[in-house]
Amino acid sequence: MGVNMGKGGGGGGAHGGSSGGGILDALHLTQGTLHIVMLGLDSAGKSTALYRLKFDQYLNTVPTIGFNCEKVKGLSGRAKGTSFLIWDVGGQEKIRPLWRSYTRCTDGIVFVVDSVDLERLEEARCELYKTAKLPENAQVPILVLANKQDLPGAKDPLEIERLLGIAELGNTHLWHIQRAPSLEKVWTTLWNTSTR
């Protein structure tokens, strides 16, 4: 696949490690388009979340081979007027090594977790840690989406946060955990990062 996730012109990014600016620089560089990568185990609900954001409805999905990409415009709150280019990357084990090429130069990561699939929560935790610990992702804000909250037996977001060991990741990342996909939350997470 080898898709180049660079933002044209290269170099600059919300997490460029340079002083100040952060997301504001990124907004300037990308003319209001933020690049977001959605990661998570297969069947966590990434594609469903993407189409909810794009079309505001549930669509039937098939397992993602490769990736989906949609441009979605924020319509409310602080996200209003900002465009999000959202990459939804396949989560099957054999294609997870490709995640790294998508997170390079991204403005933010949305990590989607199935709140019912407790058997695979440890696997999800491992993948989240792998992604978070990559040196190039050190400054990238990660929004954890505790998905499938409508299903019986779903662990609530705080419990998911505990089970994923998010606190143990330290304060190098700005974390936010939430129930439903919302561009405003993505934006707020990015924004908060710039003002740390």
Ligand X SMILES: Nc1nc2c(ncn2[C@@H]2O[C@H](COP(=O)(O)OP(=O)(O)O)[C@@H](O)[C@H]2O)c(=O)[nH]1
Select from 147, 149, 151 the least CA-distant residue to 46. Answer: 147
Cβ 90 to ligand X shortest distance, Å? 7
Tokens of 13: 């990014």
Encode 82-119: b = buried (16+ Cβ within 10 Å), e = exposed: bbbbbbbbbbeeebbeebeebbbbbbbbbbbbbbbbee
Task: Please identify which residue in 12, 21, 54, 61 interacts with ligand X, judged by CB under 6 A.
Answer: 61
Please give the C-alpha separations between residue 38 and each of 25, 51, 85, in angstroms, as whole numbers: 22, 12, 11
Residue 42 binds: one of Mg ion, ligand X, none (C-beta under 5 to 8 A by kind): ligand X
Site string for Mg ion, 121-150 (x = CB under 5 A): ------------------------------
Cβ 46 to ligand X shortest distance, Å? 3
For ligand X, the closer of residues 14 and 72 by Cβ is: 72
Site for ligand X in 149-168 (CB under 6 A): 150-151
Tell me if 138 sits within 8 A of 170, measured CB to CB: no
Q: Which of 31, 57, 92, 139 is flagged as catalytic?
A: 92
Question: Is the dihedral angle over the CA atoms 115, 119, 125, 131 positive or is it negative?
Answer: negative
43 binds ligand X (CB under 6 A): yes
For ligand X, the closer of residues 17 and 65 by Cβ is: 65
115 binds ligand X (CB under 6 A): no
Task: Please identify which residue in 14, 22, 30, 48 interacts with ligand X, judged by CB under 6 A.
Answer: 48
Question: Is the dihedral angle over the CA atoms 96, 97, 100, 102 positive or is it negative?
Answer: negative
136 binds ligand X (CB under 6 A): no
Task: Please identify which residue in 27, 30, 35, 47 interacts with Mg ion, judged by CB under 5 A.
Answer: 47
Q: From the annotation, which residues make up the binding site for Mg(2+)? A: 47, 64
For Mg ion, the closer of residues 30 and 106 by Cβ is: 106
Tell me if 145 sits within 8 A of 110, measured CB to CB: yes
57 is annotated as an active-site residue: no
Tell me if 173 sits within 8 A of 141, measured CB to CB: yes
Task: Give me the helices (H) in 56-134, please.
Answer: 99-103, 121-133
Residues with a catalytic annotation lie at 92
- By CB under 5 A, name the binding residues for Mg ion: 46-47, 64
